[in-house]
Amino acid sequence: MTTTIDDIRAAAGCLQGQVIRTPLVPAARMSEVLGCDLYLKLENLQRTGSFKDRGACVRLTNLAPDEARRGVIAMSAGNHAQGVAYHARRLGIPATIVMPEFAPFSKVERTRSFGARVVLTGDTLDASAQAARQIAAEEHLTFVHPYDDPDVIAGQGTIGLEILEDLPEVDTVVVPIGGGGLISGISLAIKDARPDVRMIGVETELYPSMANALRGRGELPGGSSLADGIAVKNPGKLTREIIARLVEDIAVVPESTIETAVCRLVEEQKIVAEGAGAAGVAAILNEPERFAGRKVATVICGGNIDVRLLSGVLARGLVRDGRMVRLRIAIVDQPGVLAKIADVIGRSSANIIEVYHQRLFYDVPAKRADVDVVLETRNAEHVKEIIASLERSGFPTRALSAHSAYGA
């Protein structure tokens, strides 16, 4: 069974009043820098924070009465889990969600808050999927697949209909790929009306599973990805066929660029996206020349990022940009020296955040010491100026933060 444009149109009718009709907003500041006309489809504004609301709602609505009575089970690292749990509670359907042990705490707690029974098991998504299949067989539950299901694909495809309604002149659509349900549905919707639109998928370099499958490659690096929502080892069979037919290319982006995309979305567009949600923007950041001069839409497919993780990502972004730096300053260990260092830094218009006075555990002479200072700065050039001022004042200084632009 495959998904058709008629299925997607029927799904759109099913979803009216059940999910949020999310906005497609222009990203003016990023467009100026990237040289394209960029629009963001904000699926992070759905009730559960991701596009998964759509497919889950359609699938659960289409259950047979006996299936609905017995209940459903799903496997997910977080967003599909929340979508199924939320709509199951709304429709009065018992739900069990199997989540891997590494699932973010925030997603686990949110899933529980929707009333689902949560089973944490498996150190990989594949192991969790096997456990979910076993529970489904033992308890006679209906398994709701996160992407390889015609109803789920149809639900996600409604995003494509909305993009065309809001931006009929779009010529490129960039969509993150995990298992492929999202880009499959969107491609079916858009290509039916506009065969000329370029569909570009995006995967992280740690999990290029769909790209490898289509190119006949078997290797898969794996690892801990910021884009955990698209960290899928085995892409779907239904989705693979659709993607092979309708998607022009799959961009594989570095983890560092996904991190940068998360930061840029927060700072420049005031949008909170999880790693997978920022993957489309990461692809454009990684190859801006590929999208230059084009009218581009990308899906911010989720915003369920752990607050502590987001805090760390934003802090690392400040370091990369040279707006936060840690300097190690060699001093003579005597009264008044710290005050002189603070004076030099203050006259350089930097802000001291933290100071570490190292005497005991460094290989320095007994009458000397190292002082580590963490500073807020304007940019990498400002860091160079501060280091030069400290050196002129007799304090040998080097930057401990990893940034080649500091020149120290």
Q: Per-residue pLDDT tens for 252-299?
A: 999 999 999 999 999 999 999 999 999 999 999 999 999 999 999 999
Total count of residues recorded for the chain: 408
Q: Are residues 26 and 113 in the same domain?
A: no
Other beta carbons less than 10 A from residue 328's beta carbon? 17
What radius of gyration do the chain's Cα atoms show? 25
Q: Are residues 100 and 66 in the same domain?
A: yes
The pLDDT value recorded for residue 336 is: 92
Which of these, 381, 370, 374, 372, lies nearest to 407 by C-alpha position?
A: 381
Q: Are residues 264 and 379 in the same domain?
A: no
Number of domains in the chain: 3
Q: Which of 144, 171, 188 is the last residue of a domain?
A: 144
Q: Are residues 71 and 208 in the same domain?
A: no
What is the tens place of the pLDDT at every residue in 123-171? 877 788 899 999 999 999 999 999 999 999 999 999 999 999 999 999 9
Region 214-222 average pLDDT: 80
Q: Are residues 339 and 392 in the same domain?
A: yes
Distances (CA, A) of 152 to 140, 180, 300: 21, 11, 18
Q: Which domain holds residue 353?
A: 323-406
Q: Are residues 309 and 346 in the same domain?
A: no
What is the tens place of the pLDDT at every residue in 319-372? 988 899 999 999 998 899 999 999 999 999 999 999 988 766 556 666 788 999
Q: Which of 316, 345, 360 is the last residue of a domain?
A: 316
Q: Are residues 380 and 393 in the same domain?
A: yes
Q: Which of 316, 341, 367 is the last residue of a domain?
A: 316
Mean pLDDT, the chain, whole residue set: 92
Confidence at 408, pLDDT banded by 50, 70, 90: very low
More confident residue, 215 or 68: 68
The pLDDT value recorded for residue 363 is: 63
Supply the CATH number for residue 166's domain: 3.40.50.1100
Reading the block at residue 167, the tokens are 């931006």
Q: Are residues 28 and 61 in the same domain?
A: no
The pLDDT value recorded for residue 405 is: 41
The pLDDT value recorded for residue 407 is: 39
Write b or e for each residue in 151-167: b if 16 or more Cβ atoms lie within 10 A of its Cβ, otherwise e.
bbbbbbbbbbbbbbebb
The pLDDT value recorded for residue 224 is: 87
The pLDDT value recorded for residue 127 is: 83
Q: Are residues 68 and 202 in the same domain?
A: no
Supply the CATH number for residue 383's domain: 3.30.70.260
The pLDDT value recorded for residue 1 is: 67
The pLDDT value recorded for residue 399 is: 93
Q: Are residues 194 and 302 in the same domain?
A: yes
Region 218-224 average pLDDT: 78
Reading the block at residue 177, the tokens are 């790929």
Confidence at 78, pLDDT banded by 50, 70, 90: confident
